[in-house]
Amino acid sequence: MENRKKVIITERIDQEGIKLLQKHLDVDISFNIPREELLAKIHEYDAIVVRSATKVNEELMSLGIKLKAVGRAGNGTDNIDINEATRRGIIVANTPDSNTMSAGELSIGLLLAQARNISQANVHIKSGQWERNKFKGVELYNKTLGIIGLGRIGSLVATRMKAFGMNVIAYDPYISDERFKRFKVEKKNTLKELIQESDFITVHTPKTKETTGMIGEKEIEFMKPGVRLVNAARGGIINEKALLKGLKSGKVASVGLDVHEEEPCFNNPLFELDNVIVTPHIGASTIEAQVNVGVTVAEQIINALNGEIVPNAVNLPAMHRDELAIMKPYIELLERLGKIYYQLHKDPIEFVNINYWGNIAAQDTKMSTIAFIKGLLEPVLEDKVNYINATLLAEQRGIGIEQRKMNENYNGYLDYIEIKIKTKDETFVLAGNLSSKREGRLVKIGGYEVDVNPSKYMLLIQNIDVPGVIGHIGMALGEENINVATMQVGRNVRGEKAMMVLNIDDEVSSKNLEKLMQVKNVLWAKGIKL
């Protein structure tokens, strides 16, 4: 029977998530387990699933000698020591996408409710009154929406509000220009610029020392008269005392708040104002969101334990599922290409340059670069390297890493990724792209142009480019019972050295390679496992 990996769930998640985990792993459901009991048994588990109460700190991780993954069913990770997990090569993944739609839609609801006085009109008519003139609102059409934080939820709101005909601008100093272009949002370089131009402002940024109170009295002074605000991100990003003052003065026409400086929140003077619409932190409170949280955290754990891509790993570059759909074939290709070098050469690497050309240069390529480094080190470090520690391990081995992006096409390729691996004495060049079917292709190796779909088992042969050599190699392969799926030959100058790249069905043995080396005009032959 297969020796299944084990996961412990210490806090409640949706049943669909538990069912998914049980299909792949041995699951210990231990909701609200006492700390002492958890510490005593954590050494048995490959993964742990928590919410916000369980402290996954150095104490727990030092005892969890098998731990490879921590799943947080929710967004925040304050209860998890991310640095310690990274140092130990433990993947920490949360579920930010799971409530993205719910939180984004609530933010839009608060925008609409303010613009059309929906909440106030509801209370008015239910109290037995009918004064339509009291509830004259404003249209969103042609107004400027300022988004603070163009991450997952901010970009979702941007996309939907552009459909309302709004002029969308955003401020986020930690987001690349490519992301602004992708969502067709005008970038503002300072918070002041955004505040001065916006009719509506919505906040979608984490709560940090930097963002706590980032909208205070000074910022409200810079705003347009009659501005309307939304905060469905974290309480305290908008200073509530300054907000109250702005509302009473009329500078701020209205506000919609799902989050509050203190929660649960009672007797807040903001609640006394009719132009304040409040909800009790219900951004993630949808049926779909809670199912998604459970299923997503289960998927993260299963992927992590299978050595696959974990898109929501917080100690890796974050990827929205739409971005992952675009980048996954490149990530898989780069990881495969990375495995080639140390199976061909033994010279220590000093530097790796990864150059992205064409359309791929507009994407966030951090994860694909990490995937290449992971693949590069796997032949020498095996299971000691993963997506989390690959870059750190490369640095420890003295390998410099640089990625560059060029928006122009490369020699007719719409997308092209070129990798230069530099040693003390030479530079080994690899290149790849995607086919029209979005399949990864190896298009250059060691300076030879080829066109090969990398497979699990490959055979590389360098030979003198003379007539008959291919036939002799084919005969030798047949004698060794090696079945060839495809073969590509690359050469630069007729009659000189050529490179033969073969996809084969099975791994070649040292005996097979010795037989190939005996073929006339063969310079070397090496098996590759990807």
Amino acid code (one letter) for 22: Q
Show the tokens assigned to 110.
């608060």
Residue 422 has a CB neighbour count (10 Å cut-off) of 17
pLDDT at 321 (0 to 100): 65
Q: How confident is the model at residue 1 (pLDDT cuts 50, 70, 90)?
A: very low
Task: Give pLDDT tens digits for 113-124.
Answer: 999 999 999 999
Residue matched to tokens 């507009």: 362
Backbone φ and ψ for 225, nearest 5 degrees, come out as -60, 135
- Fold assignment, 319-454: 60s Ribosomal Protein L30; Chain: A; (3.30.1330)
Domain 100-278 CATH class label? alpha beta
What's the mean per-residue pLDDT of the chain? Answer: 91
Rg for the chain, CA atoms, rounded: 28
Amino acid code (one letter) for 511: K
Give the C-alpha separation, 26 to 473, whole Å.
Answer: 49
Give the C-alpha separation, 275 to 54, whole Å.
Answer: 39
Show the tokens assigned to 33.
């387990």
* pLDDT > 90? residue 496: no
Which residues are within 8 A (CB) of 274 and not within 5 positions of it... i.e. 6 or more apart?
120
Give the percent of the chain with pLDDT over 70: 98
Predicted model pTM: 0.59
Signed CA dihedral, 95, 27, 384, 379: sign only: negative
7-11, 57-61, 469-473: least confidently modelled range: 469-473
Show the tokens assigned to 424.
């003390």
Ranges for all domains in the chain classified under CATH 3.40.50.720 = 6-96+286-315, 100-278
pLDDT at 241 (0 to 100): 97
Q: Which residues are catalytic?
A: 234, 263, 281
Task: Give pLDDT tens digits for 145-168.
Answer: 999 999 889 999 999 999 999 999
pLDDT at 442 (0 to 100): 94
Give the C-alpha separation, 357 to 433, whole Å.
Answer: 10
What average pLDDT does range 513-527 have in this prediction?
90
DSSP, collapsed to helix, strand or coil, labels residue 9 as strand
Ranges for all domains in the chain classified under CATH 3.30.70.260 = 455-530
pLDDT at 318 (0 to 100): 62
Say if CB 115 and CB 137 are below 8 A apart: yes
Give the C-alpha separation, 46 to 13, whole Å.
Answer: 18
CATH entry 3.20.20.10 includes domain 6-96+286-315: no
Task: Give pLDDT tens digits for 268-293.
Answer: 999 999 999 999 999 988 999 989 99
Give the C-alpha separation, 155 to 157, whole Å.
Answer: 5
Secondary structure of 427-454 in the HEC alphabet?
Answer: EEEEEEEECCCCCEEEEEECCEEEEECC
Ranges for all domains in the chain classified under CATH 3.30.1330.90 = 319-454
pLDDT at 392 (0 to 100): 78
CATH entry 3.40.50.10440 includes domain 455-530: no
Q: How confident is the model at residue 319 (pLDDT cuts 50, 70, 90)?
A: low
DSSP, collapsed to helix, strand or coil, labels residue 368 as helix
Task: Give pLDDT tens digits for 92-108.
Answer: 999 877 888 999 999 99
